[in-house]
Amino acid sequence: MFRALRKILLMSFAFAAATATSVYAHGYCGTMQAVESWIQNKGKITTAATATPGSCEVEDYYDSVYSKTTTHFQIFYVLNGPHATTKNFVDSLAVNLEKAWDLHVVKNKMRTPKGRDTTVHYQKAVKQGLYGVEVLEINLVRNPRTVHGKTGLCEECFAVTNFAGRSNWQTSELMIDNDFKTIDIYKAEYDTLDVHGKKCSYWKSTKALRNTSEKYSYVEKWDKAIRVTAFHELYHAIQVRYLNPYEHMNFWFEASATGMEEVGASEVNDYFRYIPEFFAEIGLPLDETIYPYGASTFFLYLHNQVDPLLDKSIWEGFSKNPEGTYRQQLAQVLEDRKKDPQDVFQDFAERLSYSGQISKTVDSSAWYSKDQPAWGKVPYSRSMEGFRPDSSIFAFNYYAGGIPDLQNYAGKASVLLFKDGHARLRKVSDMNTLDSLRTESFDADSLLWIFSRFENPSPLPGKLSSKSLRAYPTPWRHGNLCFAPLPQDKKFIEVRNRRGDLIFRENYNGETLCLDEGFIKSKMVPGVYRYRAGSSGKTKDFIIIY
């Protein structure tokens, strides 16, 4: 599966004398694109010639094909023409593929990838027992529509894990780009080869793939691109030993492969590029993401905080129950480990909030990844007093400020209280917890609420109305003055001075009424006042100081 770096609308341009075509390069894996094209076209993906005009054949673009054999792989490559690479490149690829095999198969005890007998592009027989790998120019691959989908183009690709088709979906091979350059679709250039008196044209790859977080070119540091690619792509070859992607493609194919590349090559951090897209989708169900690469942050939580072999169990679950959703598979493997899925999901949301600048406000032991300071701050909604948090299934949300109305809320809730550059986490175990949090929130510099819902939990237990009405903070000096819990058989708060004169009545329709600082100062001078709900009954005192 290719690792496309971004979504982009490809400009119309002609392959030499061919008709110009506009296509859309999806910002996700190339084999996923090919599989989805197969599904959309009901299996009618036609085989196309390589993207070159005239009478030239695929074989005209390379000459001698060499191979390097390792314990588990046979790597095919050429040293001349547009597919050319170097022996150093191939040696590095061989080493890193074996490291990926050691992590996925030996250490994690996952199924071995099942390779083709003959390679797709160079048409070379693979030695029995070895897995075939081809190093080539990705956009000059043989039968590009079969490999890349209906567009026949793979814009900004590192590699492709190419499956053998719907009827033989467990079989695959790896195709690695030869130089980590791509076609610049805005400034497309082509070149020609002289082959037996023929002029064979091809579009050149001139645009360097880059590590966007570290700001360097993979053309120069190709060894780093090889490292992440080996761990990522080999994991795809293993995933399809468990689940048919033509029938059951889901976001976890890319999320777990991207997470596993970070496990195997943690020094590269190529996955940083996807985190802003993932953060932008916070609040949506996790399994409905259109940016599966960024969901690698959830994979890393499960791997680092729960169990490094948990993902193996998930894929085994898919193998036994391919119709099951990812959330169902995850719930099962967590319950098998005596863990509550809702508690785990909330813990993930809490620890993810320690990203970016917030990471400095807590001890690093609270992080689940050493990279969290570099991820950026999680986005949140500005909230008012009495706000109602969203509770979509398999989603999490962040809100800043206010005290929520959690009547009938189904899910988990926590809050980060910030004071003097430090954060303290408080879990909301029941409705009555909010009562003490109101008092604590007055002393905090700011609040960040954290909510999550894994599936269909019961509403939070307890009733805030069981506690007696109080004013807080008291004595009041600045900020909001609040009254809670408000009885539902009354309609307003009444405030009088010590002589009994009515100062104001303020209507309410929830369990909490908060009055802003400007209103308080316009109505009351420093002193002792009395309040009650409604116009009868016993009053209570509170103090105003400013």
27-41, 82-96, 409-423, 529-543: segment of lowest average pLDDT: 27-41
Which pair of structure tokens corresponds to residue 4?
């496309």
Question: Which DSSP letter does residue 379 get?
Answer: P
- Residue whose structure tokens are 């604590």: 440
Lowest-confidence segment of 28-32, 187-191, 429-433, 528-532 by average pLDDT: 28-32
Report the distance separating Cα 185 and Cα 179, nearest Å: 17
- Note if the bond before 461 is cis, omega within 30 degrees: no
**Among 448, 257, 428, 273, which Cα is nearest to 352's?**
448
Mean pLDDT value across residues 82-93: 97
Amino acid letter, 257: A
Q: What region does 427 belong to: left with phi over 0, alpha with psi -120 to 50, or beta?
A: beta
pLDDT, tens only, 254-277: 999 999 999 999 999 999 999 999
- The single-letter code of the amino acid at 247 is E
Pairing, β 66-69 against β 73-77 = antiparallel
Tell me the CA distances in angstroms from 274 to 1, 5, 458, one per residue in order.
16, 9, 34
Token readout for 429 is 């175990």
In sequence order, which residues have a C-beta less than 8 Å from that of residue 256 and are 6 or more positions away?
235, 239, 296, 299, 311, 314
Nearest to 256 by CA among 314, 305, 317: 314
Higher pLDDT among residues 80 and 431, named by residue:
80
Q: H or E element: which one contains 37?
A: helix 30-40
Q: For the residues 467-495, what does the mean pLDDT come to?
A: 86
| % of residues, the chain, pLDDT over 90 | 66
- Range with the poorest average pLDDT among 42-46, 119-123, 375-379: 42-46
Kindly report the pTM of this predicted structure.
0.80
pLDDT at 53: 45
Name the least confident of 18-27, 155-164, 198-207. 18-27
pLDDT at 38: 53
Nearest Cα to Cα of residue 176 among 238, 218, 117, 217: 218
Q: Which CATH class is domain 468-544?
A: mainly beta
Contact of 430 with 461, CB cutoff 8 Å: yes
Q: What is the gyration radius of the CA atoms in the chain, in angstroms?
A: 30
Burial of 165 (0-12, 13-18, 19+ CB in 10 A): middle
State mean pLDDT over 418-434.
Answer: 88
Tens-place pLDDT, residues 48-76: 334 444 568 999 999 999 999 999 999 99
| Cα–Cα nearest to 147, from 175, 166, 114 | 175
Task: Check pLDDT > 60 for residue 200.
Answer: yes
Does residue 218 register a pLDDT over 50?
yes
Query: Residue 486 half-sphere exposure, CB side, CA atoms within 13 Å?
Result: 22
What pLDDT is stored for residue 505 in this prediction? Answer: 95
Q: HSE of 466 in the Cβ direction (CA atoms, 13 Å)?
A: 8
Q: What span, in angstroms and rounded, lies between the C-alpha atoms of 239 and 217?
A: 30
Query: What average pLDDT does range 294-313 have in this prediction?
Result: 98
**Which residues, in sequence order, are CB contacts of 171 under 8 Å at separation 6+?**
114, 115, 116, 163, 164
CB atoms under 10 Å from CB of 323, counted, come to 8
Please state which of the ranges 89-93, 156-160, 242-246, 324-328 shows the lowest mean pLDDT. Answer: 156-160
The whole-number average pLDDT for the span 499-506 is: 94
Percent of the chain exceeding pLDDT 70 equals 88
Q: Where in the chain is the domain with CATH 2.60.40.3080?
A: 468-544
